Structure 1
Amino acid sequence: MIRRTEATNTEATYGWVERAFHWSIAVLILTALVLGKLASDAPYASDAELSRKAFLFSFHKTVGVTIFLVALARIVWAVSQPRPKPLHGGIEGFAAAAVHWLLYGSLVLVPLLGWAHHATSQGFAPIWWPYGVLPDLPKDPVLSERLGILHVIFVRVLVVSLLLHIAGTLKHIVIDRDKTFARMWSGAEPETLSAARPHVLPVAVAGTVWAIALGVGLALTPPEGTAAPAGSTAVGGASNWTVEEGTLSISVTQMGSAVTGSFADWQAAIDFDETPLTDGTNGTVEVSVATGSLTLGSVSTQATSADFLSSEAFPTATFDAAIRAEGEGYVADGTLDLRGVTIPLVMPFTLDLEGDRAVMAGQVMLDRRDFGMGETYPDESSVGFGVTVDVALTAVRSDAVTDR
């Protein structure tokens, strides 16, 4: 048995560059898998636990980007080198080639999907230096969730491929007792090689597996929601305006980063007239919000949990207010009932009226402590106290809707 220390490959064995790529990626994959599992399972009921969870996710993401870059470098190197011939042909050689193609593709697709999931989400665990300069993508909760599911599916393809690869290696060591492992470990040159040549069918098999994984991932993703008010919440107030479209969003600070999300299910009953009533108001508004419909990036589950919105115990929040003109705009002056706590609330807003159509935009700041939220987070090191609520909607007079 001959051992080689050259950098380049031959038809018999691998050079030290290829071997370094192989074992570096192996260590990185195992590290990323362990970190991903630890991060996903880590609790976040306190400041310390949330900080640890964010650390693990940041570590996992940073290792993932490293895998992507190292895998690309390895592929570029492999293309420039002769491919060592297999030691076995037939079905075994075919299966080994298919698994290798699955591994190569997964090493690119898994971290790429993970980065895209991160870049489109309102995440709180950043990718560390030197990858912090990576570009962001437009924030899209639905797309981010789809990418996250695809990332998980392709991770499973990677894990299965890795297990098959390890099983094949053990067969070569224990049963065949050949030099397949030795030439990747030390560059050993086996005495005999298979006459089998590369074939396109293993690539086709790998492509089929990826296509199936993509189909499964897309089938598991939820249908795209709508930002317009949904119909499961109920409001009972008078209304002479019909909301055509709108968004009810919130923004919080978590681990120093702004995280923005929105409620998919809310309704508003608006009774408004430009001419003030005898009491000086211009009407009333009653808003009902399904708290469990909140999507808040990667912390949606935490936001609706008992620590914060407690959606199971308090599924609906309501805001009842009188509308009156103030300055160049208007205010909605009333009470907010959220999580079993009622507080007075005044929300200023702008209103652009054009005939029977109105465009409204308003913003108000809440303090989570007023509602007993996040009591295990006593300071702002992990979760900020302030919650910014933004409302934007377009409405038409109900009479105008009837006349259409």
Structure 2
Amino acid sequence: MLRNTTEGFGWVSIGLHWLMALTIFGLFGLGLYMVELTYYDAWYRGSLDLHKSVGIVLALAWLARVLWKFSNPQPRPLGNKAWEHKVATLTHALLYLLMLGLFISGYLISTADGRSIEVFGLFNVPATLTGKGQEETAGQIHEILAWSLIGLVALHAGAAIKHHVFDKDRTLVRMLKAGNHPSDSL
């Protein structure tokens, strides 16, 4: 099942979720590594180019995910705690907004000098906004947003584990296996 139902997520949603999650962790790790490199380190330029290219591809995946999300039914919330559903909805919205902020700030860092971003040698993303001090300001924002995203992802993962271990509901399982419904076994 490719599409979502009111009972569970489809393979497209599941695939985009996990692809983006793994990519975010990879970019975060690469970002931590990159900031320790000096201009003379052998992989200084390569790590920067990889980070930018993967970031652009992730932004495109984010856009696809947002479009898919709004063109599919959303599985109904499990449990009867309205406050948990509200917190989950807010958390998901913040995850999407933090990612968008990271894409924008990363773009502003990368294009501050007026050069476009080359994406794996396949296409270029042109520089459209440049300004004095842009790279430093955008860099500080990018770092704060990256740490905020990782913190919120940890909260998100902790909530999924809580639902699985303590509440014994299908919240986590629905993001691992497409087409689940209440009659499926855990």
TM-score tier, shorter chain, comes to: 0.7 to 0.9
2:170 to 173, 176, 179: 179
| 1:219 matched residue in structure 2 | none
Higher strand share: 1
2:106 to 107, 111, 114: 114
- The verdict on how the C-alpha distance between 1:190 and 1:176 changes in structure 2, with shifts beyond 3 A counting, is farther
2:58 to 67, 78, 93: 67
| Counterpart amino acid of residue 93 in structure 1 | H
- The verdict on how the C-alpha distance between 1:108 and 1:138 changes in structure 2, with shifts beyond 3 A counting, is closer
How far 1:39 sits from its partner (Å)? 0.5
Q: Is the 8 A contact 1:12 1:189 kept in 2?
A: yes
1:29 paired to 2:21:
no
| 1:224 matched residue in structure 2 | none
Identity %: 27
- The verdict on how the C-alpha distance between 1:132 and 1:141 changes in structure 2, with shifts beyond 3 A counting, is farther
How far 1:127 sits from its partner (Å)? 3.9
- The verdict on how the C-alpha distance between 1:133 and 1:155 changes in structure 2, with shifts beyond 3 A counting, is same
Q: Is the 8 A contact 1:121 1:141 kept in 2?
A: no
2:86 to 78, 81, 94: 94
Distance 2:122 2:148 in 1: 26
| 1:370 matched residue in structure 2 | none
Q: Secondary structure at the match of 1:120?
A: coil
How far 1:139 sits from its partner (Å)? 4.3
2:35 to 32, 35, 40: 40
RMSD: 2.2
| Counterpart amino acid of residue 97 in structure 1 | T
Higher helix share: 2
Query: What is the correspondence of 1:54-203 to structure 2 with a 5 Å cutoff?
Result: 54-88=45-79, 89-121=81-113, 127-130=118-121, 132-137=123-128, 139-191=130-182
How far 1:93 sits from its partner (Å)? 1.6
Q: After the TM superposition, which parts of structure 1 deviate over 4 Å for at least 4 consecutive aligned residues?
A: none
Q: Greater relative contact order (Cα 8 A, min sep 6): structure 1 or 2?
A: 2
* TM-superposition CA deviations, 1:155-192 (whole Å, max 9, x none): 12211211111111111222122211111111252429
Matched residue count: 182
For structure 2, the 5+ residue unaligned runs are none
Distance 2:178 2:168 in 1: 16
Distance 1:162 1:142 in 2: 30
Q: Name which one, 1 or 2, has greater alpha-carbon Rg.
A: 1
1:13 paired to 2:8:
yes
Please report the TM-score for the alignment, with normalisation by the length of structure 2: 0.88
How far 1:131 sits from its partner (Å)? 5.8
